[in-house]
Chain A
């Protein structure tokens, strides 16, 4: 055992941890971290701290809090990669497919992404793989017009994989760097639509699949991230509506169950309202109330 400068060290017992861990569990739940995820993280902290000794000057609560900060950062930093660099290095055209449940912000994120890519000096074409929802074509077309981008779209009811395939051909013929493929929103409980997503994935063989979910999502984030990752393996996630006053604990849930990084945050409805995700910032804000 290490010799301490302090007058004495105190061994941490299980009872000492109960109170602080409970407080932190409630804080995590209030931030929308999924319950099982929160509990598993806190269990790890409990196991690692029992029997350790602490300096008299530190309280157990502080130590637990620090351990949680590190544990959260560990989870949320998983698999982070340099998105821009990966795109620059990849063979062109790079095909990126956006997936996620209904209304989370896939189409809007594609519009933001095409703007983001433009700023990186990468050209892109949008492909409307949502051949299902009312007004889907008109919505993405309006975005394409506003941004002066090429859009490939088919009639409603068409085959989504075929649309994206057409966009890839267009990109090849016109030297476009990136194809951004939209998909219709679907709930992970819809077997037909999840099978369709698998098919799109198989036929198109995208270079990257980005799962879109919203920062305001609660406990269900775990279920859907898992199911979407199973149907069409994801490379990373975009968390939208981060401007809507939520703590964004869904980010932790998603990163924990998929082991894939959160890459971008949506912070509004404008085309510039998309930021690279900063793991440390999220963790600090998650624990802010407790500090």
Chain B
């Protein structure tokens, strides 16, 4: 993985604190500034970054470091706690029968994620089925079908039907035997109100336990508006971050989680069906800040 110079200036300022037991106001300000930079370069929303850095600054100045703790470790612990507070734990995914619908912008990785998640559930001993309701994108049916063949999971789609709501309904019936129904939808964005109406109808037809917003790790500040709209329309219970095998840090997902009051569920790390991981806060936060294992440190303090 390319860990570019991002975070290196943060590491630099932190190293300057080595050996110090007390933080001066200037120390705190310098570090908070570096944290701001890291978060902004990770695509976290500007206003959210300002909020976060304000509370980090406040705590760093007000709280006494526990005995024997260096100033450096103390501030890192505060940063870690604030970040954990925001991202929370991985979305709870019970290993039981359920329906999960995927939504998101064009090209964000929904169809690939649908097959990956089905593969994941099948490895957990459940019987999944993917229902492809995208009647718009050319080749969407074939893409999902081929991905499901690779994942060795059940697939439903109807290349001759034009009504996604009908496919959704019929797909649920046809895959009745499956434990977990994963419903793929066509790509759409916040401004396409007719398509937003459409996904509401699909959601009514399949009545999912969970709606996941699939976000490209590289999405910028627009993540906020997109997350708001999808949340208003269908309610977002979790976020999937795709394409984390690149250099993008996925800060847009943090914004989305903050907007929707949800959490992150899965991470996509490649194009094959096995390239899926459950979200784990520590690794994600460390990546956002371009730093090593913060959890370990925070536990030590």
**A-contacting residues, B132-168, CB 8 Å:** 136-147, 150
Is B77 an interface residue when CB atoms closer than 8 A count as contact?
no
Is B282 an interface residue when CB atoms closer than 8 A count as contact?
no
Q: Among A103, A139, A189, A241, point to the contact of B247 (Cβ < 8 A).
A: A189
Q: Give the size range of B's interface with the partner.
A: 35 or more
Is A136 an interface residue when CB atoms closer than 8 A count as contact?
yes
Q: Please choose the segment from B40-48, B78-86, B89-97, B173-181 that sits at the chain A interface, where 4 or more of its residues have CB less than 8 A away.
A: B40-48
Chain B residue at smallest Cβ distance from A144 = B138
Q: Give chain A residues whose Cβ lies under 8 Å from the Cβ of B271.
A: 102, 132-133
Q: Which of A142, A187, A218, A244 has the most CB of B within 10 A?
A: A218
Q: Give chain B residues whose Cβ lies under 8 Å from the Cβ of A34.
A: 41
A-B contact pairs, 30 of them (CB 8 A): A26-B46, A29-B40, A32-B221, A102-B107, A102-B243, A103-B109, A103-B216, A104-B107, A134-B147, A135-B140, A135-B144, A135-B147, A136-B143, A139-B143, A142-B138, A142-B139, A187-B243, A188-B247, A189-B2, A217-B220, A218-B218, A218-B220, A218-B221, A219-B249, A220-B218, A221-B218, A223-B247, A241-B189, A244-B189, A244-B226
Q: Among B41, B136, B144, point to the contact of A269 (Cβ < 8 A).
A: B136
Question: CA A194 – CA B37 in complex, angstroms?
Answer: 29
A187 close to B41 (CB less than 8 A): no
Q: Give chain A residues whose Cβ lies under 8 Å from the Cβ of B249.
A: 219-220
Chain A residue at smallest Cβ distance from B248 = A220
Question: Dominant SS at the B interface?
Answer: loop
B142 close to A243 (CB less than 8 A): no
A216 close to B222 (CB less than 8 A): yes
Question: CA A243 – CA B188 in complex, angstroms?
Answer: 11
Is A60 an interface residue when CB atoms closer than 8 A count as contact?
no
Q: Among A105, A132, A138, A218, point to the contact of B248 (Cβ < 8 A).
A: A218
**B-contacting residues, A128-186, CB 8 Å:** 132-143, 146
B222 close to A244 (CB less than 8 A): yes
Chain B residue at smallest Cβ distance from A193 = B271
Is A93 an interface residue when CB atoms closer than 8 A count as contact?
no
Question: CA A146 – CA B137 in complex, angstroms?
Answer: 12
The number of inter-chain residue pairs (CB within 8 angstroms) is 149
Is A261 an interface residue when CB atoms closer than 8 A count as contact?
no
Is A101 an interface residue when CB atoms closer than 8 A count as contact?
yes
Is B130 an interface residue when CB atoms closer than 8 A count as contact?
no
Q: Among B141, B222, B226, B246, point to the contact of A220 (Cβ < 8 A).
A: B246
Is A89 an interface residue when CB atoms closer than 8 A count as contact?
no
Q: Please choose the segment from A42-50, A80-88, A246-254 that sits at the chain B interface, where 4 or more of its residues have CB less than 8 A away.
A: A246-254
**A-contacting residues, B234-248, CB 8 Å:** 243, 245-248
Question: CA A29 – CA B50 in complex, angstroms?
Answer: 13
For residue A189, give the distance in angstroms from its CB to the closest CB of chain B.
Answer: 5
Is A214 an interface residue when CB atoms closer than 8 A count as contact?
yes
Is B108 an interface residue when CB atoms closer than 8 A count as contact?
yes
Q: Which residues of A contact B (CB under 8 A)?
A: 26, 29-32, 34-35, 101-105, 132-143, 146, 187-190, 214, 216-221, 223-224, 241, 243-247, 249-250, 269
Q: Among B105, B189, B246, point to the contact of A189 (Cβ < 8 A).
A: B246
**A-contacting residues, B29-72, CB 8 Å:** 37, 40-43, 46
Question: CA A137 – CA B246 in complex, angstroms?
Answer: 25
A136 close to B221 (CB less than 8 A): no
Question: CA A135 – CA B146 in complex, angstroms?
Answer: 7
B142 close to A214 (CB less than 8 A): no
Question: CA A19 – CA B161 in complex, angstroms?
Answer: 58
For residue A175, give the distance in angstroms from its CB to the closest CB of chain B.
Answer: 28
Chain B residue at smallest Cβ distance from A26 = B46
Q: A241-B189, A244-B189 are in contact. List 19 more A-B contacts (CB 8 A).
A: A32-B222, A103-B109, A134-B150, A135-B144, A140-B139, A142-B138, A146-B138, A187-B245, A217-B219, A218-B252, A220-B43, A241-B105, A241-B107, A244-B226, A245-B190, A245-B191, A246-B221, A247-B222, A269-B106
Question: CA A101 – CA B138 in complex, angstroms?
Answer: 19
Q: Give chain A residues whose Cβ lies under 8 Å from the Cβ of B42.
A: 219
For residue A146, give the distance in angstroms from its CB to the closest CB of chain B.
Answer: 7
Question: CA A244 – CA B195 in complex, angstroms?
Answer: 13
For residue A46, give the distance in angstroms from its CB to the closest CB of chain B.
Answer: 18
Question: CA A29 – CA B221 in complex, angstroms?
Answer: 8
For residue B85, give the distance in angstroms from its CB to the closest CB of chain A.
Answer: 23
Q: Among B4, B40, B146, point to the contact of A35 (Cβ < 8 A).
A: B40
